């Protein structure tokens, strides 16, 4: 049966997350409703990267199978979808292509700001403290020296391994925001928030770089700080070995 990828962007403020959840609104449930309205047929969607409640995505993907002749109906679907979800394109792919398992990397951005700004409040995390950016950069580079991120995975996560290959980890000033940019072959549940929260402890001189390294090596998630808010987090890019 022919398979299609749907590329989407969304602002996650009003959603319980990316994936369908019982008694809670999600990006996937809104997409499935829009597809059913337009095509008069129900589709089972498979998501590429699960994002938590309140987390945004500049680029994420679903795939689905259909015997219908599917065109790039982004314009029509966007007329049905709420304003905070946008279909970028619908693309036919090989029948065995998988938007989750075929992805070779994912990139996340986490944005913070330290001057009160109502126009950033729902897409960046307000940190009204002095932060040593040089210490943040050193912590970000330390992350690239490791592959086991057990300390930055929330409990009750069903994965076979806590190993991730980090290919980029850096802090960049963009306008009024300081943005953490991280790319890896995979991410664990809560991992980016755990990394950011714990790095901010370094940047605020609450722990040393040596203590940060020790937290990574401890493989103990109770030592990391996951308390940063979801609105600063955005799935920025999903990379495939084909088409995208």
CA distance 221 to 233: 20
Q: Are 216 and 142 in contact (CB under 8 A)?
A: yes
134 is catalytic: no
- Report the DSSP pairing between strands 46-47 and 3-10: unpaired
Beta strand extents in 25-136 (DSSP E only)? 46-47, 56-65, 85-93, 105-113, 125-126
Neighbouring C-beta atoms of residue 16, cutoff 10 Å: 18
Q: How many CA atoms lie within 13 A of 73 on its CB side?
A: 17
The full length of the chain comes to: 244
Q: Could you give the 3-state DSSP secondary structure of residue 77?
A: helix
Catalytic one of 52, 84, 122, 176: 52
The alpha-helical segments, DSSP class H, found in 155-221 are: 191-203, 209-218
Residue 208: partners with Cβ closer than 8 Å, 6 or more residues away: 202
- Report, as residue numbers or ranges, the catalytic residues: 52
């Amino acid at each position: 049966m022919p398979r299609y990828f749907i590329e989407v962007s969304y602002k996650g403020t009003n959603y319980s997350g990316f994936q369908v959840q019982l008694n809670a609104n999600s990006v996937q449930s809104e997409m499935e409703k829009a597809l059913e309205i337009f095509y008069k047929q129900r589709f089972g969607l498979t998501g590429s990267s699960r994002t938590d409640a309140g987390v945004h995505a500049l680029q994420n993907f679903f795939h689905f199978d259909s015997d219908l002749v599917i065109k790039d109906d982004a314009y029509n679907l966007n007329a049905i979808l709420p304003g905070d979800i946008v279909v970028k394109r619908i693309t036919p792919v090989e029948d065995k292509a998988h938007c989750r398992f075929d992805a070779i990397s994912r990139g996340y951005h986490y944005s913070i700001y330290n001057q009160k700004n109502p126009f950033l409040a729902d897409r960046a995390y307000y940190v009204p403290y002095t932060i040593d950016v040089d210490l943040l950069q050193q912590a970000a580079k330390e992350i690239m020296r490791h592959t086991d991120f057990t300390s930055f995975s929330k409990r009750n996560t069903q994965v076979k391994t806590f190993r991730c290959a980090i290919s980029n980890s850096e802090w960049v000033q963009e306008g009024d925001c300081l943005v953490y940019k991280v790319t890896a072959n995979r991410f664990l549940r809560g991992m980016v928030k755990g990394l950011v929260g714990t790095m901010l402890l370094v940047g605020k001189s609450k722990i040393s770089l040596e203590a940060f390294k020790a937290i990574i090596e401890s493989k103990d998630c109770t030592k990391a700080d996951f308390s940063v808010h979801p609105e600063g987090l955005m799935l920025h890019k999903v990379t495939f070995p084909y088409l995208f």
